[in-house]
A and B are shown apart, each in its own frame.
Chain A
Amino acid sequence: MGKIGTVTAMELKKAFATKKFLLGTILLLTFSLLSAVYMIQSWAGYNPEQLVETCVKDGEFTRNPNLPLFGFYKAWVGGDGLSLAASLFYTLLPVAVALPFGWSYYVEQKNGYLKNIYSRVDKKIYLAGKTIAVFLSGAAVVAVCLSVNILLVLAKIPLISPSAWYNLYNQVKFGTLWADLYYSVPGLYVLLYSLLTVLYGGIFALLSFAAGCWFRNVFAVLFSPFLLMMIAGYMETVIQGRIDSQIPIEIVPTQFLHPESAHYLIIAWAVSLVTAVLIVASLLTIYFRGVRNETL
Chain B
Amino acid sequence: MKLCNHIRFDLTYGLFRREMWGKYIIWLGFFALASLDFAGELVSIEATQYTYGDYLLRIFGGMREYVPAPGEPFEIPYLWLINHVGILYFTLHYMHDDLEGTGWQMILRSGNRTGWWLSKCVWNAAVVVGLYLIAWGTVFLLAGLNHAVWSFGISPFMAEIMAPGPCQLISASWQVTLEITILPLLATLAVSQVQMLLCLMLRPAVSYVVSIVLFLSSAYKLSPFLPGNYAMALRSDKIISNGVSQMTGIEIHLFLILASVVLGNLLFQKYNILNKED
Contacts and interface: CB of A to CB of B under 8 A. Distances in A.
A263 B204 CA distance: 32
Contact of B89 (A219, A234, A238, A261): A219
B213 interface: yes
Interface in B39-71: 40-41, 68-71
Given A84-B74, A223-B89, A241-B41, A234 B217 contact: no
A83 B70 CA distance: 11
Nearest to B85: A230
B78 interface: yes
A171 to B, nearest CB: 6
Chain B contact-residue range equals: 20 to 34
Contacts of A218: 93, 278
Interface residues of A, number: 39
A84 B213 CA distance: 10
A237 to B, nearest CB: 6
A263 B74 CA distance: 10
Given A219-B93, A233-B76, A84 B220 contact: yes
B258 interface: no
A-side interface mostly = helix
Among B76, B208, B216, the one with the most A-chain Cβ atoms within 10 Å of its Cβ is B76
B82 A231 contact: yes
Contacts of A219: 89, 92-93, 204-205, 208
B73 A217 contact: no
A168 B73 contact: no
A169 B71 contact: yes
Given A219-B208, A241-B37, A242-B40, A233 B74 contact: no
A171 B71 CA distance: 7
B139 interface: no
Nearest to B217: A84
B27 to A, nearest CB: 12
Q: Which of A82, A99, A169, A223 has the most CB of B within 10 A?
A: A82
B205 A99 contact: yes
A260 B72 CA distance: 9
Contacts of B71: 168-171
Contacts of B206: 23
A230 B74 contact: no
Interface string B206-225: 10110011001100110000
A82 B68 contact: yes
A91 interface: yes
25 contacts: A69-B70, A82-B69, A84-B221, A87-B76, A88-B213, A88-B216, A91-B212, A95-B205, A168-B71, A169-B70, A171-B71, A218-B93, A218-B278, A219-B93, A223-B205, A230-B78, A230-B86, A231-B82, A234-B82, A238-B33, A238-B37, A241-B37, A242-B37, A261-B74, A261-B75
Given A92-B212, A171-B71, 13 more contacts: A84-B74, A87-B220, A88-B213, A92-B213, A95-B212, A219-B205, A222-B205, A230-B78, A230-B86, A231-B82, A234-B82, A241-B37, A242-B40
Interface of B: 33, 37, 40-41, 68-71, 73-76, 78-79, 81-82, 85-86, 89, 92-93, 97, 204-206, 208-209, 212-213, 216-217, 220-221, 278
Interface of A: 23, 27, 69, 74, 81-84, 87-88, 91-92, 95, 99, 103, 107, 110, 168-171, 217-219, 222-223, 226-227, 230-231, 233-234, 237-238, 241-242, 260-261, 263
